[in-house]
Amino acid sequence: MTIRTRFAPSPTGYLHIGGARTALFSYLFARKNQGKFILRIEDTDAVRSSAEAIGAILDGMRWLGLDWDEGPFLQSERFDAYRAHAQTLLKRGLAYCCWCSPEELDEKRKAAMEKGLPPKYDGRCRTRADRPDGPFAVRFSVPPGATSFDDMIKGTMAFNHGEIEDLVILRSDNTPTYNLCVVVDDATMDITHVIRGDDHIANTPKQILLYRALGYPVPAFAHLPMILGADKARLSKRHGATSVTAYRDSGYLPHALVNYRARLGWSYGDQEIFTKEELIAKFSLESVGKSPGIFNPEKLLWLNHHYIKESEATELAPLLMAHLNALGVDASNDARVPAIIGTLKERAKTLKEMAEGALFYFRDEITFDEKAARKFLTPEAAGVFAVLSERLGSIGPFDEKAIEEAFGSVVSEKGVKLGALAQPVRVALTGGTVSPGIFETIAAMGKEKTLKRLAEAIKVSSRHDFSIEKK
RNA sequence: GGUCCCAUCGUCUAGUGGCCCAGGACGUGGCCCUCUCAAGGCUAAAACACGGGUUCGACUCCCGUUGGGACCGCCA
């Protein structure tokens, strides 16, 4: 039997960081077992679902590389199937019509909650003989007894039917509800393993009852613990960016996100870094933990930085363009880009940071940090810049080695330390005191731009008057 | 309130009765390297929630307590 898993988000928002992990685990489990991974959109709530959200979810899934084998199926296109199943239940006497109004039930529920009683539907219409006019809903008739199942993550779970109310499966407007839809879909789509968040645990016995009433085999269940925010509350907008596309826009690499989330709740000994292939080969539901995990942005950042460092400059280049564009730089025809990325990989934790750090390479005019300029762009420095400029202008291949030699010669002639030369040059070229190594920076910047900047710096330094910038 | 789930460093986790006075990773501190900032190397501090059992022996098994969380919809 081929293993079939599914990810079934409701399109009421973007692909959430928590939902994406559920998707990831379902995906990994299917791939590990040479199974199929199905995508289904649970949009039975017409009011809260939107086409934009569906697009955003598909977008997020693709970006993360979670390719699905079948779907996306839309529940809104399968209403006939759900209604037919509800009719079957009605015919078999396993469901009944209910004329109670939602308002009335809502009041009863509130009253029960206040008294500290379980807010359960009293089953009033269950034995009702008459068929009054007006709209009615269809409820599943929960039989007496108890239901238990072996969760692949949490272990054996048992529920008394006394705690389960007769759930509505068809609303009074003839639309199906969630529990009916999942069961019908999972059954007819031959889903063998239902992997989802543990907020669905309480639904599971209801669904098992539905499978049985409908005569379908019951799939295996695996309930994943939730991801919480730093305050141990369920992850929400308050915890910062939570949609996967927001991470893309902030300069995260998709695999960093995948790797991070795989390790949140799952582990493989002490290993932290996994390629996608390793994840697939090593994943198992047995090694998924039972307890909820707290989302740690710092570690994600570390992983992202790790993957930036590991990536080739040429593969990062196209990704960086978008972030440069956002800062008003079009570097698409600039041949220096790979070399520039090479200088920034070690110190940019995100692509966004990298773009910001790369800005000085592209600007026509640089603005000097006032404090730095005051300290380093002195008349003495102007003299050194002139000598250096001459040296750099005469070297053959403009590479790091030749540049270092040029610096070496100036250093020994002037009898100064390298630092005393490097810092002023850094300010002259980048505008500030922080940058990649000075030789690699110069090499990446290119001869032309370097000499132009030095010439400008000589002018500024000779004057050594920054009163204009001072205001 | 009821039902259910969970519990190892601040965080993610290893650990399936002796290998553990508890290992790794992020973060934090220190040192080294060094042209700035990083990166890298070394190093330090940091945890088995509590109380009872079971056992020759419990982080590991059982019970209770406490603390977190989820669910209780004609939402999904």
- pLDDT tens-digit readout, A186-238: 999 999 999 999 999 999 999 999 999 999 999 999 999 999 887 777 776 66
Of A306 and A232, more confident: A306
pLDDT of residue A141 exceeding 60, the answer is: yes
* pLDDT tens-digit readout, A3-15: 999 999 999 888 9
Which nucleotides in chain B have some atom under 7 angstroms from a protein Cβ?
1-8, 10-15, 23-27, 34-39, 68-76
Spot the catalytic one: A237, A309, A371, A401.
A237
B67 C1' – A125 CA distance, angstroms? 42
Lowest mean pLDDT among A135-139, A190-194, A370-374: A370-374
Spacing of C-alpha A316 from chain mean position: 19
Catalytic-residue membership of A452 = no
Given this model, what pLDDT does residue A367 score? 87
Question: What whole-number percentage of chain A has pLDDT above 70?
Answer: 96
Given this model, what pLDDT does residue A471 score? 33
C1' nearest to CA of A136: which nucleotide?
A: B74
Given this model, what pLDDT does residue A238 score? 61
**A111 Cβ neighbours under 8 A, 6+ residues apart:** none
C1' nearest to CA of A12: which nucleotide?
A: B76
Spacing of C-alpha A311 from chain mean position: 19
Q: What is the pTM of this model?
A: 0.92
